[in-house]
Amino acid sequence: MRKRKWLFTVLSLVLCTGILTSCSGAGMFGGIGVGDAMGNLDGEFGGEEYTEIVENAFIKTSEQPSSYFSIDANTASYPNLRSLINNGATNIPKDAVRVEEMLNYFEYDYATPTGDNILALTSSVFDTPYNSETKLLTIGLAAKEVEFTEQSNNIVFLIDVSGSMNSADKLPLVQASFSMLAENLNPTDRVSIVTYAGEDSIALEGAFGYEQKKIVGTIEDLAAGGSTAGSKGIKTAYALAEKYFIEGGNNRVILATDGDFNVGLSIVEDLERFISRKRESGVYFSVFGFGHGNIKSDKMETLALNGNGTYSYIDSLTEARRALVTNIGGTMLTVAKDVKAGITFNPAYVESYRLIGYENKLLTQEEFENDATDAGELGSGHTVTVVYEIKLAEPTEACEDFFGEVVIKYKPTENGGGAQEESKEASLIVPLSAYHKTPTDNDKFVASVVEFALLLRDSQYKGDANFTALIKRLNSLNLSGDEFKTEFRDLVKTYYTNTLG
């Protein structure tokens, strides 16, 4: 056991000092290839479950001018795909390709909120590179940034230690990831650790942030084995989060799992109802997925959505550092909840439109207008990108000069400086001047992510999309200042090379 503790300490120190700059490309963790742990990926997705995606179709503006959906900042799809591709997979499950989660993984040059504002909105319109008959309309949301060190945190680590977690890309990576987070806690923060396999167990209760050695030591001493009593662990985690609840603070359960719940509340609907009731306690619920071969993405997304949290995926130490150190505020601090978008298009300029992504987050007008409707959450400093493909109409002389109007409804949280149930709005008119005949770098990168997703899905809306044009566009961008966008360009090339082979 002492040897294992030494290993994880070394890994964390190496990562934090920047000596280990990337491990996702090589797929290595602790000397073991993640690809080795997963085996031959193609054809081995039988144990994985993804929410079915039925792509949004074009809608005539004259018949239905408005579009409504729930906003969130989930990013799980992209690192999951990255892990699959870097380990040689070519037969990607279509439902694993969620465009909005791929787009929202990256940072963009959007205007940031000023003054007391929680959100800032921007827009852009440009020619669709893979369809000469349409344009792409992008709407960028940027959330207020709050310093993590300024908040009081009450965190419960809920860790799956069942037998399915016994591989290099699962529990060992969970342990290294959560050890990093523990090292960034405030001294007065409270930390509890709950594990679950055949039964749930409290490994640590109510430790203070300054008890770092105790927290990290408890995490590193965990071992995998047994069946998966996920629902029992969730109940215990909530009980501890409520016991050590900090008024006005960040109270959160963080689940780490490959998503397998085969004992107890195993039906997605049962989990959804339970988490929906518990979110009224003021405890947020975030989910981190790990590993391959057993991913239950549908269940993990359901838990996060109904627990007022986000769903992310960690495929490497580099991704753990990004999510739990560099971007810890966005991961841990929710500044706006029940975030909903409503876009009303001007039929004089937009003949039809198609929302790209967000297929399982569509809302009716009644749901959009109802403040009681549960919707997505945005963390500190999060950026969200919404993309519509639009077909333009022939304008008349008397028409108003704008493409459409965007309205975002949300409730500021205590982290965002507002009362939780106080509903607010942010709005934006998309003017004709938002059209760029020469696309910006933001435009080009957004279009590249969308095109890659359409190619992976072999979408009926892919038009003339092809890898040659996509790679050429990415090569034309100066991505040297952004390691993750650079990595995306390399990932596209890797997938293209893999499929050619």
Count of H helices and E strands in the chain? 15, 19
Q: Which of 123-127, 183-187, 256-260, 416-420 has the lowest mean pLDDT?
A: 416-420
Please state the rounded mean pLDDT for residues 432-446.
Answer: 95
Q: What per-residue confidence (pLDDT) applies to 200?
A: 80
* Domain boundaries, given as residue ranges, for the chain: 59-86+99-146+335-442, 148-332
Residue 40 half-sphere exposure, CB side, CA atoms within 13 Å? 2
Looking at the predicted structure, is the pLDDT value of residue 417 above 50? yes
**Which stretch of DSSP H or E encloses residue 456?**
helix 441-457
* Per-residue pLDDT at 386: 97
CA 382-255-174 angle, to 5 degrees, is 95
Q: What fold is seen in the domain 148-332?
A: Rossmann fold (3.40.50)
Which residue from 143, 6, 169 is spatially nearest to 79, judged by alpha carbons? 169
Beta bridge partners of 255: 158, 287
Q: Give the pLDDT mean for 444-464.
A: 97
Q: For residues 75 and 120, what is the distance between their CA atoms, to the nearest angstrom?
A: 20
**CB contact at 8 A, 251 and 282:** yes
Strands (E), 258-318: 284-290, 311-314
| CA–CA distance, 364 with 370 (Å, rounded to integer) | 10
**Res 272: pLDDT:** 73
Q: Is the pLDDT of residue 8 over 80?
A: no
Compute the average pLDDT of residues 305-322.
84
Determine the Cα–Cα distance for residues 24 and 117; give it in Å rounded to an integer. 36
- Condensed to tens digits (0 to 9), the pLDDT of residues 89-130 reads 888 999 999 999 999 999 998 999 998 899 999 999 999 999
Q: Measured between alpha carbons, how far is 227 from 271 in angstroms, rounded to an integer?
A: 18
Higher-confidence residue of 282 and 149: namely 282
pLDDT at residue 419 greater than cutoff 80: no
CB 81 within 8 A of CB 452: no
pLDDT at 421 over 80: no
pLDDT for 163 equals: 85
CATH classification (class only), 59-86+99-146+335-442 = mainly beta
- Predicted confidence at residue 100, as pLDDT, reads 96
CA distances from 36 to 41, 76, 96, 292, 496 (A): 10, 22, 21, 11, 22
Q: Is 195's pLDDT higher than 80? A: yes
Q: What is the per-residue DSSP string for 120-174?
A: EEEEEEEE-TT-TT-EEEEEEEEEPP--GGGS-EEEEEEEE-SGGG-STTSHHHH
For residues 6 and 358, the model is more confident at 358
275 has a pLDDT exceeding 90: no
Query: Any idea which of 93-97, 332-336, 471-475, 479-483 has the lowest mean pLDDT?
Result: 332-336
- Is it the case that residue 392 has pLDDT exceeding 90? yes
Q: What is the Cα Rg of the chain in Å?
A: 22
Specify the pLDDT at position 424: 92
Name every residue whose Cβ is closer than 8 Å to that of residue 403 and which is 6 or more positions away in sequence.
125, 137, 345, 346, 349, 350, 390, 430, 431, 432, 434
Q: Average pLDDT in the 366-380 region?
A: 91
- Work out the pLDDT band at 293, boundaries 50, 70, 90: low
pLDDT at 41 over 60: no
Range from 64-73, 261-270, 308-317 carrying the lowest mean pLDDT? 261-270
More confident residue, 311 or 302: 311
Dihedral angle, C-alpha 241, 104, 471, 490, nearest 10 °: -20
Strand pairing category for 284-290 and 311-314: parallel
Tell me what pLDDT residue 98 has: 95
| pLDDT at position 226 | 64
For the chain, the average pLDDT equals 84
User: For the stretch 328-346, what's the b/e string if a residue is b when 16 or more beta carbons lie within 10 angstroms of its beta carbon?
Assistant: bbbbbbbbbbbbbbbbebb
pLDDT tens-digit profile of 47-78?
677 888 999 999 999 999 999 999 988 898 99
pLDDT (average), residues 356-379: 93
Q: What is the DSSP string of 301-358?
A: HHHHHHTT--EEEE-SHHHHHIIIIITHHHHH-EEEEEEEEEEEE-TTTEEEEEEES-
Angle between helices 297-306 and 268-278 (to 10 degrees): 20
pLDDT of 444 above 70: yes
- Would you state the pLDDT for residue 268? 60
Segment among 8-22, 302-316, 394-408 with least mean pLDDT: 8-22
Q: Is 99 helix (H, G, I), strand (E, B) or coil?
A: helix
